[in-house]
Chain A
Amino acid sequence: MPRTAPKPSATNLQLVSRATYLKEILLKNLFLVCACVAVAGVLLIFGFVGLRGWPAFAEVGPWAFLTGTEWSPTDGQYGILPLIWGTVLVMLGALVIGTPLAVGTAIFLSEIASPRVRAIVRPAVELLAGIPSVIYGFFGLIILRPIVANLTDGLGFGAVTAWFILAIMIVPTIATLSEDALQSIPPGIREASYAMGATTWQTIYKVIVPAAKIGIIDAIILGMGRAIGETMAVLMVVGNAPVFPESIAAPIATLTTQIVMDMPYAAGMHRTALFGMAIVLFVASMGLVALVRLISRLQTSIESGR
């Protein structure tokens, strides 16, 4: 821990004027309120979703709900396995395409690019994160889908279309975080590698990337979270058929897209089942955050153990 200036305590605050003292107290509490609102938001949403969605597990049965292969609410079939499969399929494909792209971008930005090139590429990557997802979806629907339709002689809706859209969408998340990880490696390690006569490429894949491994894995996991949660862009290109697809170019649905499609008219048990799906999504994203925490703690303990 670096040493910081001692915190102003109540006693030395009394030395300043009463107005300053009040202002300090007020601001401290204001920030406390800010933090509390964020936490309360999470708790409220979790409580609400849990309360509304729990009956789906209780009445359909957790096993029948999670592993049922038929999603057909109008016939009383509430099996979400095809939707979970759709979510996983879309997420994995996006990661396979997006990760090399993003990590490559991060390595380029951190290790190879000259400051001038970096000044162009980095804002461009950051801009990707700022594009509203509906624009990605629109791009996918209008540009990418007809291309896929031509290549596969089908409708062009399906996992493969979503992969390309999502791969681009998760690049900024993974690239920015990976670059942070690469940048946090002390320059001495790089210099030592070059001093040993290693080339740039040797330094990158033998020294830098292994050293930043855990940070990069964290970045990929957070990219996974983004891919699982993305709704609008995916909705526009997957075709929304809640079935196990015959091919990667056949319509599928994910948990998030099915919630959006069904919400307007769902009632009763159907609506409850949608909240049940929200619980599944919630648990999945909590699991990913927990994983990141665990890995970070592992890293800290390894480092401090050295």
Chain B
Amino acid sequence: MVCVLLAALLAITGCSGKREVDSELVVTGSTTILPIAEIAGEMYHEIHLDRKILVSGLGSSAGIENVATGTSDIGTSSRDLKPAEEDLGLYDTPIAYDAIVVIVNPTNPVDELTTEQVRAIFAGEIENWSELGGEDRDIGLVNRDEASGTREAFHKIVMGDVPFDRTAAVLPGTGQVRSVVENARGAVGYISLGFVNEDVKVVKVDGVVPTAETVVSGEYPLQRLLHFFTVGPPEGLAADYIEFVLSDQVQQTVVRDAGFTPISGEVE
């Protein structure tokens, strides 16, 4: 907590304080990536007690701006660079995939949807499963709360400018979405790929079954990359920290636990 505050303070004041160059690393940006960056930072600090990773979540745009202006060493982002940001000379290191799957009740005969259909369902335009080749049953929409990173990702990837149907049930957790979809025959919801279990049925989107392989190959459409941006290729402490985040030690534990799909590949 103190780290976060301190990092936020540094970000705001433009790191006016004196700090030793190679012992502290300021990481700001996406709140989605915050848990990974923070827990990995703590693990890294435990290994290298003389090095401290200061992590804060200010949003992806703030992360990109801060790293570009030199306020932070690494800017984290859950979206790609916008055209206006491409000239900033930022170096992109993808650290994980965020894939979102659409889940329905196991008894639901519908097992394939297009991205357009998913959008229409969550916009409230399609209200009955019979319109999708299923049974004559009302669709029970299950949405996440607005503080959710999954909702934010789903909104950006699937919905675009189309607003969510506001009559949908809003649940404050992945576990609740899963258990409601498990129990209600007409329900449909979305969760991160990492949280799928046997109790719910995962729907193919645009004909692709979401798995770690189809996500990594890019075939599965409802996904985004989580990025670490640096000014030029990472060096020194930043390179070491990024390498640590990309190591199996973080990828197979922290990244998976946060519901994301580990990225295969080494830092170059």
Contacts and interface: CB of A to CB of B under 8 A. Distances in A.
Do these two chains interact? yes
A240 B166 contact: no
Interface in A62-93: 72, 74-75
Contacts of A265: 146-147
Contacts of A146: 183-184
B172 interface: yes
Contacts of B171: 239-240
A215 interface: no
Nearest to B171: A240
Contact of A157 (B137, B145, B169): B169
A155 B170 contact: no
Interface residues of A, number: 26
Given A149-B183, A154-B184, A262-B146, A243 B138 contact: no
B183 A241 contact: no
A264 B167 contact: no
B166 A243 contact: yes
B102 interface: no
14 contacts: A72-B166, A74-B146, A141-B176, A145-B180, A153-B186, A155-B184, A156-B180, A240-B145, A241-B166, A241-B169, A243-B167, A250-B167, A251-B167, A264-B147
Give the 7 A-B residue pairs with the shortest CB-CB distance, closest first: A239-B169, A265-B147, A240-B170, A155-B140, A251-B169, A264-B147, A149-B184
A246 B167 contact: yes
Interface of A: 72, 74-75, 141, 145-146, 149, 153-157, 239-243, 245-246, 250-251, 253, 261-262, 264-265
Contacts, number: 63
Nearest to A142: B179
A117 B35 CA distance: 55
Contacts of B186: 153-155
A154 B167 contact: no
Interface residues of B, number: 22
Interface string B251-265: 000000000000000
B55 interface: no
A244 to B, nearest CB: 9
Contacts of B137: 153
B64 interface: no
Contacts of B145: 240, 261
A240 B168 CA distance: 8
A153 B138 contact: yes
B179 to A, nearest CB: 8
Contacts of B169: 155, 157, 239-241, 251
Contacts of B184: 146, 149, 154-156
A172 B258 CA distance: 42
Contacts of A141: 176
Contacts of A241: 166-170
Nearest to B168: A241
Contacts of A145: 180, 183
B137 to A, nearest CB: 7
B142 interface: yes
B200 interface: no
Contact of B170 (A246, A250, A251, A264): A251
Contacts of B140: 154-155
Nearest to A236: B176
Nearest to A257: B170
B187 interface: yes
Contacts of B138: 153-154
Contacts of A157: 169, 180
Contacts of B167: 241, 243, 245-246, 250-251
A265 B146 CA distance: 8
A261 B166 contact: no
A10 B140 CA distance: 73
A265 B184 CA distance: 29
Interface in B185-203: 185-187
Contacts of A239: 169-171
A261 B185 contact: no
Given A153-B137, A156-B184, A243-B166, 13 more contacts: A149-B184, A153-B185, A154-B184, A155-B142, A155-B186, A239-B169, A241-B169, A241-B170, A246-B167, A250-B167, A251-B167, A251-B170, A253-B170
